[in-house]
Amino acid sequence: QQQVKQSPQSLIVQKGGISIINCAYENTAFDYFPWYQQFPGKGPALLIAIRPDVSEKKEGRFTISFNKSAKQFSLHIMDSQPGDSATYFCAASKPGAAGNKLTFGGGTRVLVKP
Amino acid sequence: DSGVTQTPKHLITATGQRVTLRCSPRSGDLSVYWYQQSLDQGLQFLIHYYNGEERAKGNILERFSAQQFPDLHSELNLSSLELGDSALYFCASSVWRDTQYFGPGTRLTVL
């Protein structure tokens, strides 16, 4: 059962454009939603994260929008740069004694053309 | 650099063999998580240790096991290896339920 669905699988955007990646989740117990960026040959690195009590969070050119009723959240990359070309993963976790295991979406490969 | 170290970086072995992957968490982090990344399954949670105790298991095969030592480093043991075990294996560390910092990964190739 895929608990976090991510789309699109890949996207191409021109330099300066906006990249938008969407995720939908099923488990309403999830309370932490991070986005990770991964370059080839590297481990995922946290980009930005949000909790359900906030509808939007912005850090530099990266913005998360969160819609609790629709169980959806999205990443917007403004003014996309060639250095943003990477694979992006959304994830979710829920509270509990088991800690903070992350359930990941399938990933989106972003290519920013100069 | 996340501060999480993993060794070895690459591992090539044959089917039926056993390997050990090592992870050293960031200084001060008590939690270690192991994830498997493959082309068809994406990033999958395997197991979580907190301060030496197993806290959660995910899609971890019975052929796989892990432990966290008193110095907080962790090892993931993979035995009776199959071709399908070829993947990237990441460990991540955190203080508890906050941000997870991922290591550079170990690429396992089973021939």
Asked whether the beta carbons of residue B42 and residue A45 sit closer than 8 angstroms, the reply is: no
In angstroms, the CA B34 to CA B96 distance is 15
Q: Cβ of B54 under 8 Å from any chain A Cβ?
A: no
Length of chain B: 111
Q: Please list the pLDDT of chain A residue by residue as tens digits (114 residues).
A: 568 999 999 999 999 999 999 999 999 989 899 999 999 989 999 999 999 899 999 999 999 999 999 999 999 999 999 999 999 999 999 877 566 789 999 999 999 999
CA distance B15 to chain A (A): 24
A40 Cβ contact partners less than 8 Å away, ≥ 6 residues apart: none
Q: Cβ of B10 under 8 Å from any chain A Cβ?
A: no
The per-residue pLDDT for range A36-47, each reduced to its tens digit, is: 999 998 999 999
The per-residue pLDDT for range A18-41, each reduced to its tens digit, is: 999 999 999 998 989 999 999 998
Q: Which residues of A touch B92 (CB under 8 A)?
A: 43
Asked whether the beta carbons of residue B104 and residue A42 sit closer than 8 angstroms, the reply is: yes
- pLDDT at position B99 is 86
**Beta-carbon contacts below 8 Å between A and B:** 67
Q: Cβ of A43 under 8 Å from any chain B Cβ?
A: yes
Length of chain A: 114
Asked whether the beta carbons of residue A104 and residue B101 sit closer than 8 angstroms, the reply is: no
